[in-house]
Amino acid sequence: MTVTVKTGISLRTQLYSLVIGIALISFIGASWVSVDTTRTYLNEQMQTHAQDAATSVGLSISPYMDGENLMIVETMVVAIFDSGYYQKVSLTDVDDKVIMSRENNRVIDGVPSWFINFFELTPPIMSSEVSNGWNIAGILSFQSHVGSSYLKLWQHAINNFYSSLLIAIFSFLVAHLILRSVLNPLAQVEAQANSVSKKDFVFIKKLPMTRELKTVINAMNIMVSNIQASFDLASKQANKLTKELYIDDLTQLGNRRAFQSQFKISVDDMQSNDYATLGLVQLHSLQSINTELGYKAGDDYVRQAAKLITDQLHSFTGAKLYRVNGGSFFFTIPSVGEEVIEFCQHINNDFSILNSQYYEAGFGKLVATTFNNSEALTELLAKLDTLLTQENSATSSGEVYNDNNSQTSHGLHAWSSIIDNLVKTNHIEFTFQPVVSTNDDDVLYYELFSKFINNNEVVANNQLYSMAERTNKSQELDKLVLNKLANLTKLSLDSKIAINLTHQSLHSTEFRHWLAGFIKLHKNNLPRLVFEINEEAILAGIDSSIHFIQTVKSLGIEICIDRFGASFTSFKYLKGLDVDYLKIDGAYVHELELQIENKHFIQAVTQIGHGVGIKILTSHVESLETKQLLAELACDGLQGNFIQKTLTLMEKNTTLGCVYSPIKLS
């Protein structure tokens, strides 16, 4: 399930736009009608005013229309006209000959011209017959002046504007309160839906007063409750299966079964020049303590040893400790060299310090050896057993260090220089393997694997990334890979490419800022990206993982949790993690057709993932039977040598000859 993209116009915007639009139309319409009505009234008033003036003045001047007293007539008419309320006045005889005529300038003060153009006043010319005795002596005409009328009309428009505006504002505030009471609950429902899509189950506690909204929110709360219950039930089942199959009850470490399955997968993932360390810790005094002091004392002894080793192993990224039986522990470290030797020496020194009469055969003994992907587990166990029987441990005799591997001799300073040189030369080659859809064999994405070249030699990835973490330079390797990817100019932007991110990059604020700038700078020449992040790195800091995932999802990058289930922890940490894919650890897929318990585990994981919209992927698919079983278990994507072997990505080669469509190169 992907993050909901907020496209289109929100309901809040639409409703407020509607209210504002109606208010504006009503406001403008009401103002226009009011002013226009007043204009009509003023036109009629000016008509009446002019007619009254023509009638009354005409009656007043009738006695003087005998021709001898025209001066008196003119004086009387001009006296009325000079009051300023009239635009024009004229007196004509019966032959339409003008006896007298006066006209004022059409000056209108205090009224804007645009208002005059919009609301034009048209005062009519009103006339009255003037008689001389029984005879009509002339016609007197008056036209009212528009100046005062325009001023009254403008003042009315201003007053109407402000009063209408106050009414509109008050109405809008009332509408806002009503809309808010409706929209806020809807916003809560939207936020709840988005939270569920991000695997975070939240409930709306405050219910609105609106009956329909209350019904919707109650339904959403019930749905979220059901989803959470299903998630918790599936998580509980998966955790129970994991604990029964792979967890030692006493120490909560992985058991022998976990060691064997994960060791096989880790060896399969190693490159030919990769070396790692396998160690054995034996508590020889356990049997005597159980016999003499009781099993509780023996359990405390085992737990003490487990804590001591675990605390020291934390300095190695990817290191694992297993309790395979009684007082026997195996540990794996994905690196070799001086740091591992110092670790082994330190553990044996701690054991020596704890030696006492209480421990008849000593507190414990550690032996270790290096290995690569060409050595079988039985051979390594035989070598450890041989070392354990010797008087001196492998650490003190130096055999924990494989002299045949030249790269194990590098110290931290040398590895720091190698990483700096890799960043400077930018010499990386890529291999890839597709993850294909279970249903239709379409490629979901291609996982890219980096191969670093230093002085014309391929650098062992195990050692490189382990030392990069210890020298705090793993972010530089991730940046190097991303920059190299951005410069693959022949890579089709339609491809979806997955790369693995390191622990430090996941939890680095500086890397997040760099990544945001990098994506912005190279958005036009980058394919669609998926970041695969190891489950162990996620669990190292859930809060910072959530912040990182939120950042990269905002950049359009998808997230896959790699080696899901390898940490044997509760799956409830998925709540709040907005991830797109879970890739089940290969230990659960290896020989799946023979491991019925693993089928139940994968089925539980698919229920967890599908319940919250996450696609379930599997790696290390090595046979048709495994592929068919995974399809029956409703897994969404498959990866492994049976699907397609890892191939070299050659930028200039447009046809790689893959079983499935290769990474598209233009």
Span 462-498, pLDDT tens digits: 888 888 888 899 999 999 999 999 988 667 777 899 9
430 and 356 belong to one structural domain: no
Q: How far apart are CA 330 and CA 253, in angstroms?
A: 11
445 and 564 belong to one structural domain: yes
Beta-carbon count within 10 A of 282 CB? 20
Work out how many domains the chain is built from and give that number.
3
Identify the CA nearest to 613 among candidates 587, 568, 577, 569. Answer: 577
Q: How far is CA 88 from the centre of its chain?
A: 76
433 and 332 belong to one structural domain: no
Q: Model confidence over 188-207: pLDDT tens digits?
A: 887 878 777 767 778 888 88
Q: Choose the final residue of a domain: 169, 199, 215.
A: 169
Query: Are 639 and 433 within 8 A, CB to CB?
Result: yes
Does residue 484 form part of some domain? yes
Does residue 191 form part of some domain? no
Which whole-number Å values give the CA distances from 397 to 328, 335, 363, 382, 393, in the listed order? 22, 19, 20, 18, 6
Burial 452-468 (b: 16+ CB within 10 A, else e): bebeeeebbbbbbbbbb
Q: How far apart are CA 232 and CA 375, in angstroms?
A: 42
Q: Model confidence over 323-340: pLDDT tens digits?
A: 999 999 999 998 887 888
Q: Provide mean pLDDT across the span 94-123.
A: 82
Identify the CA nearest to 406 among candidates 445, 370, 359. Answer: 370
- Coil, strand or helix at 618: strand
Beta-carbon count within 10 A of 412 CB? 13
Query: Are 428 and 480 within 8 A, CB to CB?
Result: yes
483 and 629 belong to one structural domain: yes
Q: Provide mean pLDDT across the span 555-583.
A: 88
Domain, as residue range, for 134: 20-169
402 and 485 belong to one structural domain: no
Confidence of residue 391 (pLDDT cuts 50, 70, 90): very low
Does residue 182 form part of some domain? no
Confidence (pLDDT) at 6: 55
Q: What is the chain's percent helix, strand, coil content, to nearest 5?
A: 50, 20, 30
If you ran DSSP here, which 8-state letter would residue 403 be given?
T
Q: How far apart are CA 645 and CA 481, in angstroms?
A: 22
Query: Are 90 and 101 within 8 A, CB to CB?
Result: yes
Beta-carbon count within 10 A of 594 CB? 8
Please state the pTM of the whole predicted model: 0.73
CATH code for position 479: 3.20.20.450
Does residue 202 form part of some domain? no
Q: Provide mean pLDDT across the span 221-236.
A: 82
User: Phi/psi of residue 250, each to 5°?
Assistant: -75, -50
Q: Choose the final residue of a domain: 379, 407, 435.
A: 407
Strand locations in 203-311 (E): 276-282
Q: How many CA atoms within 13 Å lie on the side-chain side of 7?
A: 3
350 and 443 belong to one structural domain: no
Does residue 224 form part of some domain? no
DSSP string computed for 428-448 = EEEEEEEEEETTT--EEEEEE
Confidence (pLDDT) at 658: 41
Q: Provide mean pLDDT across the span 256-260.
A: 92
User: Phi/psi of residue 587, each to 5°?
Assistant: -60, -30
User: What's the token pair of residue 427?
Assistant: 């010499």
Residue 394 has pLDDT above 50, yes or no: no
**Average of per-residue pLDDT values in the chain:** 85
CATH code for position 277: 3.30.70.270
Q: Model confidence over 420-433: pLDDT tens digits?
A: 999 888 889 899 99
Residue 3 has pLDDT above 60, yes or no: no
486 and 588 belong to one structural domain: yes
The owner of tokens 């359990």 is 299
Confidence (pLDDT) at 409: 53
Q: How far apart are CA 337 and CA 405, in angstroms?
A: 10
The residues facing 533 across adjacent strands are 501, 561
DSSP string computed for 495-550 = -EEEEEE-HHHHT-HHHHHHHHHHHHHHTTS--EEEEEEEHHHHHT-HHHHHHHHH
Burial 96-128 (b: 16+ CB within 10 A, else e): eeebbebebeeebeebeeebeeebebebebbbb
Those residues with Cβ within 8 angstroms of residue 635's Cβ, 6 or more apart along the chain or in another chain:
438, 584, 602, 606, 616, 617, 618
463 and 562 belong to one structural domain: yes
Does residue 492 form part of some domain? yes
Q: Provide mean pLDDT across the span 301-306.
A: 95
457 and 597 belong to one structural domain: yes
Residue 398 has pLDDT above 60, yes or no: no
31 and 82 belong to one structural domain: yes
Confidence of residue 390 (pLDDT cuts 50, 70, 90): low
**Three-state secondary structure string covering 567-606:** CCCCHHHHCCCCCCEEEECHHHCCCHHHCHHHHHHHHHHH
DSSP string computed for 67-133 = SS-HHHHHHHHHHHHTTTTEEEEEEE-TT--EEEEEE------SS-HHHHHHS---PPEEEEEEEET
Q: Model confidence over 137-163: pLDDT tens digits?
A: 888 898 888 888 888 888 888 898 888
Q: Provide mean pLDDT across the span 539-555.
A: 92
334 and 470 belong to one structural domain: no
The owner of tokens 């046809």 is 655
The owner of tokens 């194990």 is 408
Task: Say which amino acid occupies 184.
Answer: N
If you ran DSSP here, which 8-state letter would residue 491 be given?
B
Q: How far apart are CA 37 and CA 320, in angstroms?
A: 90
| Conformational region of residue 294, where left means phi above 0, alpha means psi within -120 to 50, and beta covers everything else | left
Q: Choose the final residue of a domain: 376, 407, 438.
A: 407
Which whole-number Å values give the CA distances from 122 to 107, 150, 481, in the listed order? 15, 11, 81
Task: Say which amino acid occupies 364.
Answer: G
Does residue 196 form part of some domain? no
User: Phi/psi of residue 463, each to 5°?
Assistant: -65, -45
